[in-house]
């Protein structure tokens, strides 16, 4: 590399080289570069646009990134503000067009940021909706959009959860007084927005994918709004097991956490198939106090001002170390631009998870209800009482797929236990039923492992992940054909 080429290297890329030689440097981005990024204050719209520019075959949209409100060039205000759109060119998989929209919801300051890919000139027979994890954004799925939109008849959506990403950030307040009520209110805050979005998009039924916290919310959605899903795909979902000892006997004391592996694991070694045991550290008492006081990690990023980009680099450098430098830099910029936004949905974390990433209302006690709920409005994502509602019309099961990386810090045994409970519930529901009823039932569950991947397996092992996903989407089509025959 020439000296001029070296001078053109991005700040994060140059710091990553230093981090490789000093593997214990927790915050690789230098103070000077961090201050520069903080001072520049690049908008989430611009950083999201940069990440999406790496989606192959789908042209970059003509986005007016200088417009802080990120409306379209015509300044149109409607229930759905079209922010940007573009079409693919010379596409061997058929012409495709993608959009970025801001879908307005009812109430004050409620809107969901939406990315979608549609196949030009084709009828939409199926919809895939993708939900990101805690504090992240839809741009993290940039390695998946092109591959998953190749199937004829499918339209792909990715949403920023309410109060996260580039969705609106209304004030997050809990009004319930009791423990259970606070949890349900926090869950409803997110999933009610998803249901309102579905109604606005006039989607009858769809396939729902959720990663991490998005997976948790996907299960909650399936329980509260039965009859709306064709398939549920949980990608390293948080919140399934009840406690550490339920899934791993060798885990250390209760005041330790595998969640710290999210920040400390070097993803390059994982992607290369090298052993990378999840490091564990004791959770300091002050961290537990801040957690319970609802001080989010992003509050710290905002609080430290010019040091924020450096703090974020401690995560992004390790998290994206296996990616090409330009993509890693774009994801760092994108992450920081989201983390520094006004706090909103992030404050749900303390109501839903206890310190250490274990749910306050574990899904293992509820996931058996997915696909078995009464087909009626529900007040909260809780499991129906079968005995008291024996005569009510119910769902006839939906397939549930749980995906993990082989180096995932989210324990796969939680998924296997959930698989067992779902299949046991199917056997109970169909006990004494006819062979025809068994045949028509759609209930199923399985666990899939993606090789050389960690918690963000859709990014670490995206080729294998995309292949598995395409097979799952084809399975949706196969089941629909069988149901019509």
Q: How far apart are the C-alpha atoms of 210 and 218, rounded to whole Å?
A: 6
Rg (CA), the chain: 22
Q: How far apart are the C-alpha atoms of 202 and 313, rounded to whole Å?
A: 40
The single residue of 168, 212, 344, 396 carrying the catalytic annotation is 212
Helix H or strand E encompassing 260: none
* pLDDT score, position 32: 85
Model confidence over 425-450: pLDDT tens digits?
Answer: 999 999 999 999 999 999 999 999 99
Q: Does residue 47 sit in helix, strand or coil? A: helix
Q: How far apart are the C-alpha atoms of 148 and 167, rounded to whole Å?
A: 23
CA 437: distance to chain centroid? 34
The single residue of 81, 384, 408, 444 carrying the catalytic annotation is 408
DSSP class of 374: B
CA distances from 386 to 127, 369, 378, 426, 445 (A): 31, 10, 14, 13, 20
Domains and CATH numbers, the chain: 33-60+80-381+392-483 (3.40.50.1820)
pLDDT < 70 stretches in the chain: 1-25, 59-89, 243-296, 356, 387-388
The CA-based angle 263-265-266, given to 5 degrees, is 115
Model confidence over 187-209: pLDDT tens digits?
Answer: 999 999 999 999 999 999 999 99
C-alpha dihedral sign at 92, 96, 100, 106? negative
DSSP class of 394: B
pTM score:
0.86
Q: 240 CB contacts (<8 Å, ≥6 apart)? A: 359, 362, 363, 364, 367, 414, 415, 417, 418
Q: How far apart are the C-alpha atoms of 56 and 396, rounded to whole Å?
A: 39
* Known catalytic residue at 455: yes
What dihedral angle (degrees, nearest 10) is formed by the CA atoms of 93, 97, 100, 102?
A: -120
* pLDDT score, position 113: 97
Q: How far apart are the C-alpha atoms of 206 and 116, rounded to whole Å?
A: 14
195's tokens: 């249901």
* pLDDT score, position 388: 64
Alpha helix positions (H), 241-307: 261-264, 267-271, 285-292, 297-303
* Known catalytic residue at 106: no
Q: How far apart are the C-alpha atoms of 110 and 175, rounded to whole Å?
A: 18
* pLDDT score, position 1: 43
Closest CA to 346 of 289, 283, 297: 297
Q: How far apart are the C-alpha atoms of 56 and 462, rounded to whole Å?
A: 14
DSSP class of 58: B
Q: Which residue has the tokens 């397939």?
A: 399
* pLDDT score, position 69: 42
* Known catalytic residue at 125: no
The single residue of 333, 455, 456, 460 carrying the catalytic annotation is 455
């Amino acid at each position: 590399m020439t000296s001029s080429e070296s001078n053109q290297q991005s700040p994060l890329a140059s710091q990553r080289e230093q981090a490789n030689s000093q593997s214990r440097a927790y915050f690789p981005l230098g103070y000077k570069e961090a201050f520069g990024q903080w001072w520049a204050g690049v908008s989430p719209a611009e950083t999201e646009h940069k990440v999406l520019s790496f989606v192959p075959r789908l042209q970059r949209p003509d986005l007016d990134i200088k417009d802080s409100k990120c409306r379209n060039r015509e300044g149109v205000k409607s229930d759905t503000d079209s922010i940007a759109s573009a079409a693919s060119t010379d596409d061997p998989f058929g012409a495709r067009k993608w959009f970025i929209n801001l879908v307005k919801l009812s109430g004050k300051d409620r809107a969901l940021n939406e990315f979608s890919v549609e196949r030009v000139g084709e009828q939409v027979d199926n919809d895939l909706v993708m939900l990101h994890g805690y504090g992240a954004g839809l741009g993290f799925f940039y390695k998946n959009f092109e591959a998953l939109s190749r199937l004829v008849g499918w339209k792909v959506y990715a949403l920023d959860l309410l109060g996260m990403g580039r969705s609106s950030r209304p004030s997050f307040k809990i009004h319930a007084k009791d423990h259970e009520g606070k949890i349900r209110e926090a869950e409803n805050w997110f999933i009610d927005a998803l249901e309102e979005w579905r109604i606005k998009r006039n989607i009858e039924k769809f396939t729902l994918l959720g990663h991490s916290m998005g997976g948790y919310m996907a299960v909650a959605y399936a329980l509260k709004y039965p009859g709306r899903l064709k398939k549920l795909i949980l990608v390293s979902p948080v919140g399934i097991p009840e406690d550490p000892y339920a899934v791993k006997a060798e885990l250390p004391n209760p005041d330790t956490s595998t969640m710290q592996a999210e920040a400390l694991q070097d993803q390059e070694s994982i992607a290369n198939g090298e052993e990378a045991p999840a490091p564990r550290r004791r959770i300091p008492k002050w961290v537990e106090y801040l957690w319970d006081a609802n001080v989010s990690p992003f509050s710290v990023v905002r609080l430290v001002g010019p040091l924020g980009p450096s703090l974020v680099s401690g995560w992004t450098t390790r998290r994206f170390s296996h990616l090409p430098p330009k993509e890693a830099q774009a994801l760092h910029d994108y992450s920081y631009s989201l983390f520094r936004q006004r706090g909103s949905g992030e404050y749900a974390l303390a109501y839903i998870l206890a310190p250490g990433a274990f749910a306050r209302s574990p899904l293992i006690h509820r996931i058996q209800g997915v696909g078995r709920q009464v087909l009626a409005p529900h007040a909260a994502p809780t499991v129906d009482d079968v005995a008291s509602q024996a005569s009510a019309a119910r769902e006839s099961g939906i397939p549930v797929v749980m995906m993990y990386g082989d180096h995932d810090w989210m324990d796969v045994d939680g998924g296997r236990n959930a698989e067992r409970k779902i299949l046991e519930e199917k056997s109970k529901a169909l006990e004494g039923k006819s062979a025809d009823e068994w045949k028509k039932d759609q209930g199923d569950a399985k666990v899939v492992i993606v090789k050389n991947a960690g918690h963000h397996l859709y990014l670490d092992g995206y080729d294998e992940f995309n292949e598995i996903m395409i097979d799952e989407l084809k399975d949706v089509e196969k089941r629909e054909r069988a149901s019509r025959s």
